[in-house]
Amino acid sequence: MTNGDLRIRLEGALGSGVVDTAPLPVGFGLTGLSARLQDGRHVAVKAKDNARSGPSLALEGYMLGELSRTSDLPVPQVHAAEPDLLVMDFIETDGGTITANVERDAARLIAALHATPRDGFGYARDTLIGPLHQPNPQSQCWIPFFRDERLLYMARAAKDEGRLPAALYGRIETLASKLEDFLTEPPFPSLLHGDLWTGNVLVCGNRIAGFVDPAIYCGHPEIELAFTTMFGTFGDAFFEAYEGMSPLEPGFHELRRDLYNLYPTLVHVRLFGGSYLGRVETTLTKLGL
């Protein structure tokens, strides 16, 4: 889609002329723009050339809409969500880093998201993590859901794509058969943002300006908290504040955090290849497998 075609699509979808645009970094081969409209709106745009190739941008819009509809998590309002076009509010940031004060603000927001009981694990429809399919059949038990729809699903896909060696897949199967030895059921399902790495956390001053690029489903809060440590998004200040509102059971930081991070690590194995296999190997060894 050329910039001229995209401009015409935007004006038709939003009912306002485009005054100015600037490139906006987005991943996975998408076109990104910051656009200012004649009616004063400032929007962020994602677009792709072929509506039939790859995941639908309408699904990302759906996930943002669900977070907005069912929680108080700050996410951008969606103005248009089509298979090849997503338009949402542009979230103003100041380029600041995630400080201890920002971590505490994030903890307050994420703890509130997790504190509301949901009806079951999974979701009303399948979602995405990055560009990858994320199955969400609804379940009343967390451990079988995590085993089948997260750990084994992503490991099997990585093996079938030639990204995960058969020997490592076999060790993951062994872990899957023993998950009850390591994990516990939460008191209730919680709605999760699902992809809380640093690039999806937008900051302004000493607060969170917004969260973007979700991978929503209902699950155990611990898998979300684990993901925040995978690339060092949040640290001690976040966990001290979060646990002041919602204490964690013993053993999360020592063991369950690494086990839960097998899921996003397998996502990265599929997306980026063998450089992440060492993390899989290290975790399985730590678990005695």
pLDDT given at position 68: 97
- Under 8 Å CB-to-CB from 195, ≥6 apart: which residues? 129, 130, 213, 214, 215, 227, 264
What are the pLDDT tens digits along the chain (289 aa)? 566 778 889 999 999 999 999 999 888 888 999 999 999 999 999 999 875 667 899 999 999 999 999 999 999 999 999 999 999 999 999 888 999 999 999 999 999 999 999 999 999 999 999 999 999 999 999 999 999 999 999 999 999 999 999 999 999 999 999 999 999 999 999 999 999 999 999 999 999 999 999 999 999 999 999 999 999 999 999 999 999 999 999 999 999 999 999 999 999 999 998 899 999 999 999 999 9
List Cα–Cα distances, 98 to 83, 209, 239, in angstroms. 33, 11, 14
pLDDT given at position 160: 98
The model's pTM is 0.95
pLDDT given at position 52: 64
Q: Which domains does the chain have, with CATH numbers?
A: 3-89 (3.30.200.20), 100-286 (3.90.1200.10)
The residue from 39, 105, 160, 195 that is catalytic is 195
pLDDT given at position 129: 97
Does residue 195 have an active-site annotation? Answer: yes
